[in-house]
Amino acid sequence: MLYDRRRAAVRTRISPDALLTAALNSSGMTQGGGFPPAMSWALLVILILSGLAALIAMTRAGIRAFWAAPDRAVPRVRIVEIMPVAALLVLCSIQTIQAGAVMRFMHAAARSLHTPRDYVSDVLRPAEQKARRADGT
């Protein structure tokens, strides 16, 4: 059988998704095997945090190797500089936990974009009122 490069690429791309789906899909697992749902979520959190830690470490190493002067001391990050980043991370976490409210807002925004009748009538209404006032009716 000939080696099909396209099939191999598809299998390689699907593999991480399939592993995460299997880890988080508790209904497809047997009673005795696999992680319980809490452990699978903990595994996902550990996976994301380790990726973030690796990204930060590699970025810092790259900055030190390519941009920093070797004779300078590494400057300390002040609390004023790190607080906006921490606040954004907290807000992203809250949005992740409270995703229902965010999704309701996004669906309402999408509905209003697809049916602009209410928006158009609200925008045109003040113009019509001005025209009526000018006509005296």
Per-residue pLDDT, 29: 52
Q: How far is residue 104's CA from residue 118's CA, in Å, rounded to a whole number?
A: 18
- Profile the chain (137 residues) by mean pLDDT over runs of 10 residues: 53 60 61 61 85 93 82 82 94 91 90 84 74 68
Per-residue pLDDT, 56: 94
Give the rounded distance of the alpha carbon of 17 from its chain centre: 16
Q: How far is residue 85's CA from residue 121's CA, in Å, rounded to a whole number?
A: 41
Q: Which helix (H) or strand (E) holds 125?
A: helix 117-135
pTM: 0.36
**Residue 136 zone, left/alpha/beta (φ > 0; ψ -120 to 50; rest):** left
